Structures are given as structure tokens and as C-alpha cells.
Amino acid sequence: MTATPEQQTVLVGVTGGIGAYKACELVRALMRCGFRVKVVMTDAATRFVTPLTFRTLTREPVATSLWADEPGDPVHHVSLAQEADVVVVAPCTANVLAKLAHGRADDLLTTTVLATEAPVVLAPAMNVHMWRKEVTQRNVDALRARGFVIVAPGSGELACGDVGEGRLAEVAAIAEAVEAEARRARDLAGVRVLVTAGPTYEPIDPVRFIGNRSSGKTGYAIAEEAARRGADVTLVSGPTALPDPFGARVVRVTTAAEMREAALSAWADADVVIASAAVSDVRPAARSSGKIKKDALPDSIALERNPDILAELGAANDGSRVVVGFAAETGDPVAEARRKLEAKRCDLVVANDVSGDLGFGTDANRVWFVTGDAAEELPVLDKRAIARELLDRVSALVRRKRGT
């Protein structure tokens, strides 16, 4: 079966649990929804359902081994990972759940999930006591915080005779989650997104500068998530140690003036602006062309204000663009976000408190999404999950402005 240009591919991962037989129903349900479906199985899964069954249902080859590639074939776990628009693992055993939570990749399924840039849906199924164990719940929480979609197991009589949570969720619920991820995977197709990220460095001399502790992780995660969802992404980045995000066009700058110039250039074609950069508010009024010797360092440095890039872009917006600002604050971040929302003509401001252990340089954060109507507090999430939540709301704002 060959995918048509508009058809999305769902990769169904099947692991070794009694619920594996329901994966056959899931495959049929997804095909009725119009998806091209491919299947990858663990060795244990083949003890419950044969690969021939899935090949017959999907009319596609079924992948079962890391070692089945022929000379000249593409590397299987990479090609499968790239081909998938959505990956779903159903059933997902406690063992595979733990592997994914800890980044272990020792078979075709786990290597494929680790390699994919597609959204991943997990439908756990196991004995009730295994499901309730603290370590299992920690694994689930870790995966959910990283952006995996968890379709929680149902409750009832289990194959082993126990009663409680652990049975594979209903096929309709799993298929619905996959459909939602498939829509999300293309919800920014054709949308041009400008993201600013990272700090700016304002030179005092060739050695010293005024800057801040921004790592750029949030902005890079936003740029990558937007690209995954089909957007044409330009990332204007201050100095960071991060690699270029998958699928984004990157313009690297150093100073606020350089970031302003690059942002204004990209602004002309942008539908969405997400200004996550921590732009320095001030710069030295004069820069020394040579290193200032220690005994010649001045007691004070004259400063001048940098341009307010977000305010400038917000003022230039005719209302057709979506503008998102960030407020990294101490004290009352929501109040400051409300002020920035109005003063800089934003549609949404992402606020966070940097006075504690979260914020600059960390992999997780706690944020508020502040709009004219509400301030929505999110739990502590990985910055990739925050990017996902933010772009859900940005997508809705784009549709609203376009009347679609």
C-alpha cells in the first residue's frame, strides 16, 4: 500500500502483552480513518499475534528486527522514524514504558521511538499492581512531562484474574488520541513563524560583556515544535550552546541591535511572532576596541537603552499577526505579564518566576499563559512540553484571526 501525498502515516508499535490482539482492531480503526498504517513489533509481541496478521491487515511489511536490513536498504529504525506522522504504542508494557522513560533503545521499536520527531502516543497495559507501583507512575509522569501522550488504561477484570486498572484503553479512545496528534502534526502548515531565543551579549570590550543567563532552551523547543507541525520557521538566536533545531531556519546574532535587525527582516513575512529571547535592556554607551586592562577598569560604565524589539513589533502589528511575548520575572510574574500584554500589544504572554530553581538554564519550567481573558497556570513541565502547549494555543489564535 502506497501513501497518497495528502495521506498521513501512523506507525503502530505492538509490545508483548495480552492486549496485543486489540492492536489488530486499532490498525483497522486507523485505516478506516484514512491513515496509512505500518506496524513494528517487539519479539515478545510476535508470541501473541503473528506479523502475518498485521501484514494482511495493513498490506504493508511488518518490522520486527533491528537486524533485518538488506545491503542497500535504508537504516530501518531511522526510515520508520522519519516516515511516521504519528507513532502509537499499544499495548505499551511496563518494560517498554520504562525503557522509553530512560532513553533505552535495544530493539527496533525503542530505537524508532527514540529516533522519531513525530508525536508519540502510549497506551499502557499491564497488571494492576505493576501499574500502581511508584516507579511505573514516575515513568509515566516523566514521559508525559516530555510531551508523550498517555492514554491511561481502563479498569476491570484483567487477563490474570485480578481486578483494577491496567487493561488496555478502548480502541476508540486510542484512535481518537492518534487522530488528535495527526491534526496537531499539520495544524501550522503554511504558517510562517518567527521565534527569537536566547540572550544577547552587549560588549564592553572584546572580552567582557553585559548579558544574562538565558540558555535559549525554551525558544529552541518552540522553533522545533512549530517546524514539526508544518510551520515555516525562522529562529533568530542570541549566543547559545544549542544545535540548530530540527526543521528551522536559524539566524545567529550577538547583540540586541543585531537581533532587532534580523527580527524586523523576518517580520515582514511572519504570521506569528514568538519573542522568547531575553534581550538585554541596556548596552554600554561606548565600547572599547581593545581589552581594558585591570588597572584601567572604570568605577562605572555609562549605559544606554537597547531598542524594545517586542514593543516595536507589537506596535507595527495591524491585528492580523499573532504576537507572543515572554515575561521572566521575580515577585508577581502574572501582574507583569498583564502589563506587558497591554503595553506591547501581545495576544499572549508567557510568564515565569525566575527567583527559584526553575527558569534560566533548566530543562523544565512552570509558566502561566496570560491573555486578556485569563491567566492559566501550567504544572512543572519539560520545556518541550511547554512548547507544545503554547503552540496549541497559538494555532487556535491563528485560526481565530483567519476566521477558520
Which residues does the annotation mark as catalytic?
160
DSSP string, 287-312: --SSPPPGGG--S---EEEPP-HHHH
Side-by-side strand order, sheet with 62-63: 62-63, 36-41, 9-14, 86-92, 120-124, 149-150
Which candidate, 279, 273, 275, 298, places its Cα nearest to that of 287?
Answer: 298
Return d(Cα 217, Cα 166) in angstroms, integer. Answer: 36
Return d(Cα 153, Cα 305) in angstroms, integer. Answer: 55
**H-only helix segments in 324-382:** 333-343
Other C-beta atoms closer than 10 Å to the C-beta of 285 total 9
Return d(Cα 213, Cα 198) in angstroms, integer. Answer: 9
Return d(Cα 118, Cα 74) in angstroms, integer. Answer: 19
DSSP, res 61: -
Which candidate, 62, 291, 26, places its Cα nearest to that of 168?
Answer: 26
Yes or no: say if 217 and 238 are a contact pair by the CB < 8 Å rule.
no
Yes or no: say if 43 and 108 are a contact pair by the CB < 8 Å rule.
no
| Side chain identity, residue 150 | I
Yes or no: say if 275 and 325 are a contact pair by the CB < 8 Å rule.
yes
C-alpha radius of gyration, the chain, whole number? 24
> Residue 105 corresponds to which cell in the numbers above?
533503545
**DSSP H/E element including 176:** helix 171-184
Sign of torsion over alpha carbons 308, 313, 315, 319: negative
